[in-house]
Amino acid sequence: MTETIPKPREDGAGADDASESDPLLLLAPLRIEARAIRRGLRNLPDPPAVTRTGYGTTRAAQQAGRLSHDPFGQMMIMGVGGGLTTDLSPGDLVVGTEVGAVTCASAPILAGELRRAGLPARTGRIATVDHLVRRAERAKLAAEGWLLADMESAPLAAAADGRPVAVIRAVSDTPHHPLAGIVSGGLAALRSLRAAAPVAERWAAACGTRQVLLAGPRSFCAGVERAIEIVERVLERQGEPVYVRKQIVHNTRVVGDLESRGAVFVDELDQVPDGATVVFSAHGVSPMVREDAARRGLAVIDATCPLVSKVHAEARRFAADGYTVALIGHAGHEEVEGTLGEAPDSTVLVQTAADVAALRPRDGERVAYLMQTTLSVDEAAEVSGALRERFPAVRAPGSDDICYATTNRQAAVRAVAADSDLVLVAGSKNSSNSVRLVETCERAGTPAYLIDGAEDIQLDWLAGVSTIGLTAGASAPPAVVEEIISALSGLGEVSVSERVTTTESIRFGLPKEVRQ
């Protein structure tokens, strides 16, 4: 699959014509704004020039006519503006997602970069009006979904004409802090503008045309889809709150979405009221947790992935047959804690070959091993190899414990990493299989970064990078991948192709409590 996300130009030229060596056109309407930005840039070795465009829509439109034929590579508009919503404060930064009719797709990346610099930045729609907005009009524009109003950005942004464009406006006044003159009311805004200025240069350096290689398969696996559907169905049937022990899957977006719909995530069962319904997460629980729930009279709905349950069953079986079970996995992971709890007197966690050397089984002829489902295939092979070497009679699991989704995503990302300058892995920091995807790339010699979303992409990563591999861990929603591609397209034309190493058709049935 190949798809190009172009930046159409009105004169018929493509974004390829915007050479990466073409300069940043950095615009500020007012002298006072331009001065603040220049001050913010003055410590840079080769600061970009700041062009003043003049106050108001008429001057902005005149300037836009002149600028549209300039040989700039990308345009950044900076200035102050009026906040429209009551949750904004003077000095906050608004990065435009839409500015009039112009889409500024890189806004999430830019806002994330500003926040990492310690600045209060949000993304939102910016309206351009031809007069200062007063109380009633602020409320009307806010109700229409605009976050900030200014008097210049829309005509200037239109002059970018398909080239990358971004708008950063610092809030000078809000419904609670009405305009009292640009100097007295806007000091906080000018300070923010000055602090934000160096980000403009980093943004420009990250702009350019590039290729995105999508790894296939990626994103949700059958176990994660099942777990999410279980919580959704319980919410539908019982209404909120629905208690879930631990994160249902390790992804901040999924958890945040379900929380907003009424799910309550708790660390332990003592946070669940007596008699309530509780969902166990996809990573599984130990028998002690089940017993505790039964003692408390909780109604349990089990979202444990069937492939995790399979490992639990193997642990019980090996232990019952008198084996010492070496569980290859990572200490502290919920899945590992659940599996260790199945046969705590017979199971020992081994994380490395050194742990294997230190293993003291009851009987060296009766050793078996199991694995966490989300391990790195290569890393697990090293440890299982050490076990086979030390205990030649060691019993392996009946079928691979590292699940199909983990194995497939690692093979797929390895295939794109080979041809990428860097790889972005969508996933949360506590997602084991997502972290393993980063390690897989690094082992292949390609730098890789774990990101929850486009806002985590650092502009410095992208400078000089023409091919980006992109994948998502098994707990990361497919929509995040789309969001990342969209944000990258705001930095220049992106051509997207997919490398599919295998296709997946596995589905797991739902537990009886939520069927129908």
Q: Which residues carry out catalysis?
A: 335
Within residues 455-514, the interface with ligand SF4 by CB under 6 A covers 474
Cα separation, 283 vs 251, in Å, equals 13
Contacts of 515 (CB under 8 A, 6+ apart): 509
Cβ closest to ligand SF4, residue 206 vs residue 222: 222
Cα separation, 178 vs 502, in Å, equals 58
- Asked if residue 307 binds ligand SF4 (CB under 6 A), the reply is yes
Q: Where are the beta strands (DSSP E) in 319-429?
A: 324-328, 347-350, 367-371, 422-426
- Asked if residue 228 binds ligand SF4 (CB under 6 A), the reply is no
**Binder to ligand SF4 among 165, 221, 301, 459 (CB under 6 A)?**
221
> C-beta of 407: minimal distance to ligand SF4 in Å?
9
Cα separation, 403 vs 475, in Å, equals 13
Q: Are 370 and 327 in contact (CB under 8 A)?
A: yes
By CB under 6 A, which span of 19-27, 31-39, 219-227, 348-356 interacts with ligand SF4? 219-227
- Asked if residue 315 binds ligand SF4 (CB under 6 A), the reply is no
- Tell me the helix, strand and coil percentages in the chain, rounded to 5: 40, 20, 40
> C-beta of 409: minimal distance to ligand SF4 in Å?
9
Cβ closest to ligand SF4, residue 247 vs residue 374: 374
> C-beta of 235: minimal distance to ligand SF4 in Å?
20
By CB under 6 A, which span of 91-99, 154-162, 217-225, 391-399 interacts with ligand SF4? 217-225
Which residue do the tokens 């300039």 mark?
70
DSSP string for residues in 4-61: EE----TTS--GGGS-TTSPEEEEESSHHHHHHHHHHHTTSSSPPPEEE--SHHHHHH
**Binder to ligand SF4 among 85, 374, 376, 489 (CB under 6 A)?**
374
| Phi, psi (rounded to 5 degrees) for 317 | -65, -50
- Asked if residue 433 binds ligand SF4 (CB under 6 A), the reply is yes
**Binder to ligand SF4 among 373, 410, 446, 489 (CB under 6 A)?**
373
- Asked if residue 339 binds ligand SF4 (CB under 6 A), the reply is no
Contacts of 199 (CB under 8 A, 6+ apart): 110, 113, 114, 117, 168, 459
- Asked if residue 282 binds ligand SF4 (CB under 6 A), the reply is yes
Buried b (16+ CB within 10 A) or exposed e, 106-125: bbbbbbbbbeeeebebbbbb
By CB under 6 A, which span of 31-39, 156-164, 220-228, 340-348 interacts with ligand SF4? 220-228
Type of residue at 277 = T
Cβ closest to ligand SF4, residue 36 vs residue 402: 402
- Asked if residue 440 binds ligand SF4 (CB under 6 A), the reply is no
What is the DSSP secondary structure assignment for residue 264, as one 8-state letter? E
Within residues 382-421, the interface with ligand SF4 by CB under 6 A covers 403, 405-406
Rg (CA), the chain: 27
Length, in residues, of the chain: 516
Cα separation, 239 vs 258, in Å, equals 12
- Asked if residue 224 binds ligand SF4 (CB under 6 A), the reply is yes
By CB under 6 A, which span of 114-122, 137-145, 185-193, 216-224 interacts with ligand SF4? 216-224
- Asked if residue 305 binds ligand SF4 (CB under 6 A), the reply is yes
By CB under 6 A, which span of 38-46, 303-311, 348-356, 477-485 interacts with ligand SF4? 303-311
Of the candidates 462, 3, 426, 438, the one whose C-alpha atom is nearest the C-alpha of residue 213 is 3
> C-beta of 434: minimal distance to ligand SF4 in Å?
10
Cβ closest to ligand SF4, residue 203 vs residue 404: 404
- Asked if residue 308 binds ligand SF4 (CB under 6 A), the reply is yes
Binding string, 166-205, against ligand SF4, x = CB under 6 A?
----------------------------------------
Cα separation, 17 vs 222, in Å, equals 44
> C-beta of 424: minimal distance to ligand SF4 in Å?
20
Within residues 106-145, the interface with ligand SF4 by CB under 6 A covers none
Q: Are 88 and 142 in contact (CB under 8 A)?
A: no
- Asked if residue 213 binds ligand SF4 (CB under 6 A), the reply is no
CA 106 to chain centre: 14
Segment holding 485, helix H or strand E: helix 478-489
Cβ closest to ligand SF4, residue 188 vs residue 396: 396
> C-beta of 375: minimal distance to ligand SF4 in Å?
11
Shortest Cβ contact with ligand SF4: which residue?
223
- Asked if residue 254 binds ligand SF4 (CB under 6 A), the reply is no
Q: Are 282 and 311 in contact (CB under 8 A)?
A: no
- Asked if residue 223 binds ligand SF4 (CB under 6 A), the reply is yes
Cβ closest to ligand SF4, residue 97 vs residue 433: 433
> C-beta of 195: minimal distance to ligand SF4 in Å?
42
> C-beta of 10: minimal distance to ligand SF4 in Å?
47
End-to-end CA gap in the chain = 36
Cα separation, 325 vs 344, in Å, equals 10
Cα separation, 311 vs 334, in Å, equals 14
Using CB under 6 A as the binding criterion, the count of chain residues that bind ligand SF4 stands at 15
The residue ranges that bind ligand SF4 (CB under 6 A) are 221-224, 282, 305, 307-308, 373-374, 403, 405-406, 433, 474
